[in-house]
Amino acid sequence: MSHSNNIIKKYTLVTRQLATHTMLETIKLPSILFLDIETVSGKAAFSKLNKSTQKLWETKAEQIYRRSGDELPSPKESYTEKAGIFAEYGKIVCISVGFISQEAGGEMNFRLKSYYGDDEAALLTDFAQLLDKTPRFMYLCGHNIKEFDIPYTCRRMLINQLPLPAKLQIHGKKPWELNHFLDTLELWKFGDFKNYTSLSLLCDVFGVPTPKDDMDGSKVGKAYWKDKALDKIAEYCQKDVLATAQVFLKMVRKDLIKEENVHVA
């Protein structure tokens, strides 16, 4: 592709992104499903993998650490640290969702629900059924949802040989064909595609309570495999969903949801 075509492509993407910001305030809040997933390594330890998968992971780990410039740890350590973020080597243990509801002239309420457990196929099936029941015009909103949550979920559904719900049938679609995804990370970029901004940082700049109080993503694997703390993981995932919703509300210049108006199913 020529240099001029690259410039045109980037200009087009930025223009579309700015147009998205313009339309954000016209979206009805009850038409948004906020979500987040929590993932862990597929096995409790590297030694639990079969020999062929071990070799494949060793190759993957070399690529990961070479790219980052960090020293390559042992396969055991690298698997514990990184496997959970790759759908081919990890699995989903929790999906949390949240809806905003509001009576005419009343305060906003936020309803949270989590699908979690050891049986990944079961929780993915339950989540897919939820998506199939939502209206066609429903938006899906999350932080880094386009780069992580959505592709990871789609891949794990296929690995589990589950049908993709209509909202996740996105094979080969162009970015502008995915307008039903609202990504708070992407919305914050405003055309600056070289930097990553964490949800915690956005919470800080917007004055939103951080979800990273007693747990963060790096601790989910231990909480699952060693502590068997699925309830704690679900609670953490719900906090991420609420934080994402609050950040989105700030982006559209709305009041925050009050703590007493948050309800967990």
Q: pLDDT (tens digit, 9 = 90+) per residue, 6-23?
A: 544 444 444 444 445 447
Residue 83 lies in a domain: no
Which segments of 170-213 does DSSP mark as H helices, in order?
184-189, 199-206
* CA atoms within a 13 Å half-sphere pointing along the CA-CB vector of 31: 13
- The CATH number that applies at residue 153 is 3.30.420.10
Return the pLDDT at 171.
Answer: 84
The verdict on residue 50 lying in a domain is: no
Output the CA–CA distances (angstroms, integers) from residue 164 to 32, 84, 212, in the order listed: 20, 21, 31
On whether residue 167 sits in a domain, the answer given is yes
pLDDT in the model for residue 46: 97
Inside any domain, residue 55: no
Query: Would residue 69 count as lying in a domain?
Result: no
Determine the pLDDT at residue 29: 94
Number of domains within the chain = 1
Contact 191, 14 (CB under 8 A): yes
Amino acid at 136: R
**What 3-state DSSP class applies to 227?**
coil
In a domain, 151, yes or no: yes
pTM of the model: 0.89
Cα separation, 107 vs 261, whole angstroms: 8
Tokens of 228: 């068997």
Amino acid at position 265, single letter:
A
Using an 8 Å Cβ cutoff, are 41 and 79 in contact?
Answer: yes
The tens digit of pLDDT for each residue in 107-160 reads 899 999 999 999 999 999 999 999 999 988 899 999 999 999 999 999 999 999
Whether 100 is covered by a domain: the verdict is yes
* Long-range Cβ pairs for the range 55-62 (8 Å, 24+): 57/83, 57/89, 60/86, 60/89
Which class for 33: exposed (0-12), middle (13-18), buried (19 or more C-beta within 10 A)?
A: buried
Is residue 72 one of the residues assigned to a domain? no
Whose CA is closest to 63, among 51, 47, 78, 48?
78
Alpha-carbon gap, residue 131 to 128, rounded angstroms: 5
Note down the domain range covering 209. Answer: 3-42+89-264
pLDDT tens digit sequence for 199-245: 999 999 999 988 766 777 788 999 999 999 999 999 999 999 999 99
Residues forming a β-bridge with 202: none
Q: Are 124 and 160 in contact (CB under 8 A)?
A: yes
